[in-house]
Amino acid sequence: MKFSSAIAFLALTVQDASAFAPASSIAPSTRATTPLFVAADLERPLAEETASNGEAAEEMDLKSLRRDPTPHAKPVSFATKCASLYSSKPGAERALAPPVYFGSTFLLDDAGHGARLHEKREAPYTDDDGFVYSRWGSPTNEAAALQIAALEGVDNDNDPRGLGSSLLFNSGMSSITASLMAVLRAGDHAIFPYTVYGGTHEFVSDFAQHWGVEVTFVDAAGKDGPANYKAAFRENTRVVYTETPANPTMRLTDLAGVAGVVDEFYGKADNVVGMHPTERKRPYVMVDGTFASPYHQKVLDIEGIDVSIHSATKFLSGHSDVLAGAVTSRSEPFLHGVAKVQKLISAPLNPMDSFLLARGLRTLDVRMQRHGENAIKVARMLEEHPLVQSVFYPGLDSHPDRELADGIFRSGRDDDMEDDDDEAPPQTYGGMISFIVAGEGEEALRRARNVCENLRVVNLAVSLGGVESLCEHPASMTHTMIPREQRVAGGLHDGLIRLSIGLERAKDLVHDLKNSLDMCDDEGCDTGF
Ligand SMILES: Cc1ncc(COP(=O)(O)O)c(C=O)c1O
């Protein structure tokens, strides 16, 4: 049998060679059993080299090819060759694109090493002692998590508020449910906005409440939001949950105001960040900031906000090809709790999706800027159209939370940039727009559905944040699980359409939406669905 056929090594060539997380940020013990190197600039892959050397390769000492020689014997029999570990040759890790570690388990130095790793409490990242088992963390996942922590601004060693960390999950919903499960127990109380992603509402109503958690829904939007939260506070309130910009109404929550009323009622956050979730009395203030991404909104920079959550399926990944979620916090005990839920109930983001997420993050800055530049043009056209009753886009003067928007949307500006800084990117307001078609009840419903169906450039699909534009009708799709009276109380009208504006040429998008609306200006539009 040819030696090369026994080499369990796969190299893909991908034309992508820009910098990633520095190697020093990834813990050293990455001896996963099945690394997949995705790199343009690897030296010749081992399989290629051994094939070109023909039979001579059979003579090669396998151990000399191993990066970490182990005391194992050189395999001789076919079955053992199949089942054995064949590492790539030294230097492969110098690939500019990060390797994907598919391994479910990691080699241990000795039994004591295994015992040490099992004694540890759950933590977001591994330490220098290495990885043990992928359900408790793995290198590709950790590299992407470190990058998100950096983008959330919690990676500064000199920050007096302390360092923070991110944990990655296999969906945005998993990151939401894990954060809630890490904190809430039967008898606790939690406050949620009426306008919240449909899945979050469904978890709260179908699970949290059945597990004995008391829940109050409030109108979180605009200047009255903080007072509405305050009116719902109780002694046993453990979670104050927000989603801003809200899906799908695009209303904004005054996060500093909410944190302020929490301070007034429960005391400041300073002394409670390091407390175990069951000991601290101050509720956790959690923000789902999926629609803005950290490009626009670094919520952990706001004093009194404890937890930042994202569906990384959306803008963070950016290509509609990954399901992922992220939780970031500066509170170590909270993250230990989340890591425990991840280990026992949920699962960490898998290696391939971690790789794709990290790859998407590398263009987040430029993508977000273009999303915003396109979206304002579409929003302005919609505002002028006679069949549109109202448009909700934070960049429009007509947006009910316009003042808040200017404080919230940072457009990738660094802390040391003044507004008039030449290098400061122009102010933009993200890629999400919602608008309400003219009409009431059944007429509005039919019209909204027909506008979605008439589009030819914008795709009719749920989800958001990808390079391509998407359109959906929340009342019959993403938010149908929220009772109608609650939807309406939160501003979700039957005729509301949600747009995720992509990176196409703005003119094409404007034309497409205008055409689709124009077609609804006659009776024919109202026949369908
Ligand atoms: C604001 C928001 N949060 C969370 C989620 C859930 O994310 P995922 O679909 O990745 O589970 C979504 C999904 O659309 C969302 O829009």
Sequence letter at residue 323: L
Q: How many angstroms separate the CA atoms of 141 and 211, rounded? A: 31
Q: What CATH number is associated with residue 307?
A: 3.40.640.10
The CA 175 to ligand 1 mean position distance, Å, reads 10
pLDDT at 41: 36
Peptide bond into 245 cis (omega under 30): yes
Ligand 1 and 248: CB distance under 6 A? no
Are 382 and 507 in the same domain?
yes
State which of 173, 296, 346, 482 you would mutate to test the pocket of ligand 1, scoring each by most atoms of that ligand within 8 A of its C-beta.
173
The atom number, within ligand 1, closest to the CA of 313 reads 10
State mean pLDDT over 269-294. 87
> Lowest mean pLDDT: which of 6-15, 356-365, 453-462?
6-15
Q: How many angstroms separate the CA atoms of 22 and 43, rounded? A: 20
Asked if residue 431 has pLDDT above 50, the reply is: yes
The protein residue whose alpha carbon is closest to atom 14 in ligand 1 is 463
Ligand 1 and 198: CB distance under 6 A? no
The atom number, within ligand 1, closest to the CA of 247 reads 1
Asked if residue 83 has pLDDT above 90, the reply is: no
pLDDT at 33: 55
Are 209 and 332 in the same domain?
yes
> For residue 401, which of 187, 257, 197 has the smallest C-alpha distance?
257
Tell me: the pLDDT tens digits for 124-177? 888 889 999 999 999 999 999 999 999 999 999 899 888 999 999 999 999 999
Q: Which ranges constitute the DSSP H helices of 190-224?
A: 198-203
Ligand 1 and 188: CB distance under 6 A? no
Instruction: Say if residues 502 and 377 touch (Cβ distance below 8 Å).
Output: no
Domain membership flag for residue 19 = yes
Ligand 1 and 87: CB distance under 6 A? no
Name beta bridge partners: 204.
none
pTM of the model: 0.86
CA-to-CA separations, 212 to 113, 184, 186, 187, 215, in angstroms, rounded: 41, 9, 4, 6, 9
DSSP string, 111-153: HHHHHHHHHSPP-SS--TT---BGGG--HHHHHHHHHHHHHTT
State which of 314, 357, 464 you would mutate to test the pocket of ligand 1, scoring each by most atoms of that ligand within 8 A of its C-beta.
314
Domain membership flag for residue 124 = no
Instruction: Say if residues 359 and 16 touch (Cβ distance below 8 Å).
Output: yes
The CA 311 to ligand 1 mean position distance, Å, reads 5
Ligand 1 and 466: CB distance under 6 A? no
Percent of the chain with pLDDT over 90: 64
> Lowest mean pLDDT: which of 33-42, 297-306, 336-345, 491-500?
33-42
Instruction: Work out how many domains the chain is built from and give that number.
Output: 3
Domain membership flag for residue 47 = yes
State mean pLDDT over 200-222. 96
Domain membership flag for residue 272 = yes
Q: Which ranges constitute the DSSP H helices of 135-224?
A: 139-151, 172-183, 198-203
Are 433 and 478 in the same domain?
yes
Are 301 and 354 in the same domain?
yes
Ligand 1 and 171: CB distance under 6 A? yes
Ligand 1 and 346: CB distance under 6 A? no
Instruction: Say if residues 335 and 149 touch (Cβ distance below 8 Å).
Output: no
> Lowest mean pLDDT: which of 105-109, 176-180, 484-488?
484-488
Are 181 and 256 in the same domain?
yes
- Domain containing 188: what range? 144-361
Ligand 1 and 168: CB distance under 6 A? no
Domain membership flag for residue 423 = yes
Are 59 and 163 in the same domain?
no
Q: Which of 82, 107, 132 is the last residue of a domain?
A: 107
Domain membership flag for residue 113 = no
For residue 271, what pLDDT band results from cuts at 50, 70 and 90? low
Find the angle CA(315)-CA(405)-CA(166) to the nearest 5 degrees. Answer: 40
Q: How many angstroms separate the CA atoms of 402 and 482, rounded? A: 27
Are 467 and 373 in the same domain?
yes
Mean of pLDDT over the chain: 85
The CA 242 to ligand 1 mean position distance, Å, reads 13
Domain membership flag for residue 115 = no
For residue 269, what pLDDT band results from cuts at 50, 70 and 90? low
State which of 176, 288, 311 you would mutate to test the pocket of ligand 1, scoring each by most atoms of that ligand within 8 A of its C-beta.
311
Q: Which of 328, 361, 394 is the last residue of a domain?
A: 361
Are 259 and 209 in the same domain?
yes
Tell me: the pLDDT tens digits for 292-323? 999 999 999 999 999 999 999 999 999 999 99
State which of 203, 287, 290 you would mutate to test the pocket of ligand 1, scoring each by most atoms of that ligand within 8 A of its C-beta.
290
pLDDT at 36: 53
Are 353 and 368 in the same domain?
no
Tell me: the pLDDT tens digits for 382-393? 999 999 999 999
Domain membership flag for residue 348 = yes
Ligand 1 and 313: CB distance under 6 A? yes
**Which 3 state secondary structure label does DSSP give 380?**
helix
Are 315 and 386 in the same domain?
no
Q: Which of 300, 334, 361 is the last residue of a domain?
A: 361
What is the four-CA torsion angle of 403, 404, 407, 410, rounded to 10 degrees? Answer: -110
The atom number, within ligand 1, closest to the CA of 462 reads 14
What letter would DSSP give residue 524?
A: G
Question: Phi-psi region for residue 307, left (φ > 0), alpha (ψ -120 to 50) or beta?
Answer: beta
Q: What CATH number is associated with residue 435?
A: 3.90.1150.10
> Lowest mean pLDDT: which of 142-146, 316-320, 444-448, 449-453?
444-448
**Which 3 state secondary structure label does DSSP give 83?**
helix
Q: How many angstroms separate the CA atoms of 94 and 41, rounded? A: 9
Ligand 1 and 356: CB distance under 6 A? no
Sequence letter at residue 33: T
The CA 244 to ligand 1 mean position distance, Å, reads 12
pLDDT at 31: 61
Ligand 1 and 242: CB distance under 6 A? no
The CA 6 to ligand 1 mean position distance, Å, reads 43
Are 313 and 215 in the same domain?
yes
Ligand 1 and 465: CB distance under 6 A? no
Element housing 443 (H / E) = helix 441-454
Q: What is the pairing mode between strands 307-311 and 284-288?
A: parallel
For residue 525, what pLDDT band results from cuts at 50, 70 and 90? low
> For residue 288, which of 249, 325, 335 has the smallest C-alpha distance?
325
Are 375 and 329 in the same domain?
no
